[in-house]
Amino acid sequence: MTNTTYVTGTADARGDIERLQRLMGLMTGDEKHSPAATSTLDALWVLHDRVLRVSPGTVDDPGRDRFLLSKGHGPMAYYAVLADKGFVGEDVLTGFGGYDSPLGHHPDRTLVPGVEIGSGSLGHGLPLAVGSVLGLRAQGLPEPKVWVLIGDAELDEGSNHEALAYAGPAGLEQLHTVVIDNSSATYGWPGGIASRFEAAGWSAETVDGRDHEALYAAYTAPHPGRPRAVVARVEPKNP
How confident is the model over 59-70, as pLDDT tens digits?
999 999 999 999
> Averaged over 8-30, what is the pLDDT?
78
The answer to whether the CB of 64 falls within 8 A of the CB of 70 is: no
Between CA 69 and CA 129 the distance in angstroms is: 10
Higher pLDDT, 104 or 9: 104
d(CA 119, CA 15) in angstroms, rounded, equals 29
pLDDT of 125 strictly over 50? yes
Give 10's pLDDT tier (boundaries 50, 70, 90).
low
Instruction: Report CA torsion sign: 118, 146, 80, 56.
Output: negative
**Quick one: pLDDT band at residue 29, thresholds 50, 70, 90?**
low
Q: In what order do the strands lie in the sheet with 146-151?
A: 66-69, 146-151, 175-181, 228-233, 203-208
Please give the helix or strand (H or E) that residue 18 lies within, else none. Answer: helix 11-25
* Predicted model pTM: 0.89
